[in-house]
A and B are shown apart, each in its own frame.
Chain A
Amino acid sequence: MKSFAPTAIVIAVLAAVPLVVQSNATLNFLVVTLMIALAGQGWNILGGYGGQYSFGHAAFFGTGAYVTAILQMRYGVNAWPGFAIGIAAGAALGAVIGALTFRSGLRGSYFALVTLAFAEVLRIVASVAPITGAGVGTLMKLELGARTFQFQSRAAFYWAILALVAVSLVIAELIERSRFGTWLVAVRENEDAASALGVDARKVKTAAMTISGAITAAAGCFYAQYFLFIDSGIAYGTWISVEALLTAIIGGVGTVFGPLAGAIVVKSLGEATRLLIGDAPGLDLIIYGAVLVLVIWIMPRGLIGGFVDVRKFFGRKSVRQVRHG
Chain B
Amino acid sequence: MFSAAILIPAVLNGLLMGAIYALVALGLTLIYGVLHIINFAHGALLSAALFAAFFAFKLLGLDPYVALFLMAPVFFVLGYALQRFVIGPASHGDDRNMLLVTLGIAVIIENALLYNFRGDTRTIDVPYAFQTFNLGVTYLAVPRVVGFVAVFVVALALWLLMTFTDVGRAIRAVAKEKLGAQLVGIDVGHVYAMTFGLGTACVAIAACLLIPTYYVNPGVGNAFVLVAFTIVVLGGMGSVPGAVIGAFVIGVVESLSGLFLGESLGQIGIFLIFIVVLLLRPTGLFGARA
B107→A288 contact, CB < 8 A: yes
A109→B91 contact, CB < 8 A: no
Chain A CB within 8 A of B240 CB: no
Chain A CB within 8 A of B160 CB: no
In the bound complex, CA of A262 to CA of B290 (Å): 37
A283→B268 contact, CB < 8 A: no
A110→B278 contact, CB < 8 A: yes
Prevailing SS type, chain B contact patch: helix
Across the interface, A324 reaches (CB within 8 A) one of B36, B97, B233, namely B97
B268→A293 contact, CB < 8 A: no
Residues of B within 8 A of A293 (CB): 86, 90, 101, 104-105, 108
Residues of B within 8 A of A288 (CB): 107
In the bound complex, CA of A268 to CA of B46 (Å): 31
A296→B90 contact, CB < 8 A: yes
Across the interface, A128 reaches (CB within 8 A) one of B36, B115, B265, namely B265
Residues of B within 8 A of A290 (CB): 104, 108
Across the interface, A286 reaches (CB within 8 A) one of B86, B112, B268, B272, namely B112
Q: How far is the CB of A259 from chain B (nearest CB, A)?
A: 15
Instruction: List residues 275-308 of chain A with CB under 8 A from any CB of chain B.
Output: 280-283, 285-286, 288-290, 292-293, 296-297, 300
B100→A296 contact, CB < 8 A: yes
The number of chain B residues with a CB under 8 A from chain A is 48
Chain B CB within 8 A of A77 CB: no
Chain A CB within 8 A of B264 CB: yes
Are A120 and B226 also in contact (CB < 8 A) when A53-B100, A289-B111, A325-B92 are? yes
In the bound complex, CA of A53 to CA of B102 (Å): 13
B280→A104 contact, CB < 8 A: yes
Complex interface bits, B251-290 against A, C-beta within 8 A gives 1, otherwise 0:
0000000000000110110011011001110100000001
Chain B CB within 8 A of A118 CB: yes
Residue in A53, A109, A283 whose Cβ sees the most chain B Cβ within 10 Å: A109
Q: How far is the CB of A192 from chain B (nearest CB, A)?
A: 14
B268→A125 contact, CB < 8 A: yes
A106→B278 contact, CB < 8 A: yes
A285→B92 contact, CB < 8 A: no
Chain B CB within 8 A of A140 CB: no
A285→B111 contact, CB < 8 A: yes
Chain A CB within 8 A of B177 CB: no
Are A289 and B107 also in contact (CB < 8 A) when A109-B95, A121-B272, A282-B114 are? yes
In the bound complex, CA of A118 to CA of B226 (Å): 12
B233→A289 contact, CB < 8 A: no
A324→B92 contact, CB < 8 A: yes
B90→A112 contact, CB < 8 A: no
Complex interface bits, A305-325 against B, C-beta within 8 A gives 1, otherwise 0:
000000000000000000011
Chain B CB within 8 A of A55 CB: yes
B97→A286 contact, CB < 8 A: no
Chain B CB within 8 A of A199 CB: no
In the bound complex, CA of A116 to CA of B40 (Å): 11
The number of chain A residues with a CB under 8 A from chain B is 43
Q: How far is the CB of B81 from chain A (nearest CB, A)?
A: 14
In the bound complex, CA of A68 to CA of B175 (Å): 48
Are A121 and B90 also in contact (CB < 8 A) when A280-B115, A283-B115, A289-B107 are? no
Across the interface, B91 reaches (CB within 8 A) one of A103, A128, A296, namely A296
Complex interface bits, B79-106 against A, C-beta within 8 A gives 1, otherwise 0:
0000000100111101111011101111
Chain B CB within 8 A of A14 CB: no
Q: How far is the CB of B41 from chain A (nearest CB, A)?
A: 10
A324→B271 contact, CB < 8 A: no
In the bound complex, CA of A55 to CA of B89 (Å): 22
Residues of B within 8 A of A117 (CB): 226, 229, 271, 274-275, 278
B89→A286 contact, CB < 8 A: no
Are A109 and B99 also in contact (CB < 8 A) when A101-B279, A281-B114, A325-B94 are? yes
Q: How far is the CB of A297 from chain B (nearest CB, A)?
A: 4
Residues of A within 8 A of B272 (CB): 121
Residues of A within 8 A of B89 (CB): 297
B108→A286 contact, CB < 8 A: yes
Q: How far is the CB of B63 from chain A (nearest CB, A)?
A: 30
Q: How far is the CB of A70 from chain B (nearest CB, A)?
A: 19
Q: How far is the CB of B13 from chain A (nearest CB, A)?
A: 22
14 more A-B residue pairs beyond the given contacts A108-B96, A282-B111, with a C-beta to C-beta distance below 8 A: A55-B103, A101-B278, A112-B99, A113-B38, A114-B275, A117-B229, A117-B274, A124-B267, A245-B100, A249-B100, A285-B110, A285-B111, A292-B101, A293-B108
Interface set of B (CB-CB < 8 Å, partner A): 32, 36-38, 40, 86, 89-92, 94-97, 99-101, 103-108, 110-115, 118-119, 218, 226, 229, 233, 264-265, 267-268, 271-272, 274-275, 278-280, 282, 290
